[in-house]
Structure 1
């Protein structure tokens, strides 16, 4: 399993906000801290706002902050929300499902999909055990 740069940056942004709860944080500050593209970060901030992970305040005195306490933000939830496709192999992607079932080069008796689904479930189960607070202690 490999997380996208989008998810990695989202998690790091949340960690940064979680370590600066005493004030609003600017997008510029996060960009400079992690040396990421401002355009990319703006998209991530927008997405995190839609997901209810952060609040954005506009204007001269605006900035970013966590929308709820770090202890209430589960890492698994952030990963599920920011990853567009969690399929470990192409044959498990929704777009690859035909009227006859999943497209698989190994055929209908393939057991690999089940093993990979179990592995992904275990991976997410570990992430679900941790909150943002666990990462910023």
Structure 2
């Protein structure tokens, strides 16, 4: 069975946005708290937060009262666009390097995999972060529980 799998980087980026999006608009999250809630490497998560900040999705503030907050409204963060910006969808080598495959010029598999990838992204394009935060109060409570464990 062929399936598309997101990288851990994209998974953690989505989780970070869920965490930050579950906060009230005036609150900021500490990266160490997000890492603790998900049991992730702080160093790895800092890179993700930095990247999300560069993309304009998170505000990052250093210092005593610093932290991260959403830079845009959840309804303006399209999940499909985000995943496309973080993932390399070269599912098979011929998507990126046609010269390395003997059958590339007449292979039908490439078009089938391209259709599958397109369908996967088309579903993600239907959702925004706001859709994923419809139960944000419940998520917030779960994140707080995760920090105390």
**Contact persistence 1:26–1:63 (CA under 8 A):** yes
Task: Judging by fraction of residues, say which structure has more helix.
Answer: 2
TM-score (norm 2): 0.83
Compute the displacement of 1:119 (Å): 1.0
Which digits, 9 at most, give the CA deviation of each residue in 1:11-58, with x for residues without a partner? 000011110133011001101100000010011001111111111011
Q: How many Å separate the matches in 2 of 1:36 and 1:68?
A: 25
Q: How many Å separate the matches in 2 of 1:133 and 1:107?
A: 41
Q: How many Å separate the matches in 1 of 2:116 and 2:22?
A: 32
1:89 and 2:86 matched? no
Unaligned runs of 5+ in 1: none
Which digits, 9 at most, give the CA deviation of each residue in 1:52-106, with x for residues without a partner? 11110111101001110101100011111111x111111112xx244xxxx3232
1:73 corresponds in structure 2 to 77
1:117 and 2:128 matched? no
Aligned ranges 1:11-30 → 2 under 5 Å: 11-22=14-25, 23-30=27-34
**RMSD across aligned C-alpha pairs, in angstroms?**
1.1
Q: How many Å separate the matches in 1 of 2:50 and 2:86?
A: 11
**Among candidates 121, 124, 128, match of residue 127 of structure 1:** 124
1:105 and 2:102 matched? yes
**Contact persistence 2:78–2:129 (CA under 8 A):** yes
- Give structure 1 regions of 4+ aligned residues with deviation exceeding 4 angstroms: none
Aligned residues: 130
Aligned ranges 1:35-54 → 2 under 5 Å: 35-54=39-58
SS in structure 2 of the partner of residue 8 of structure 1: helix
**Contact persistence 2:31–2:67 (CA under 8 A):** yes
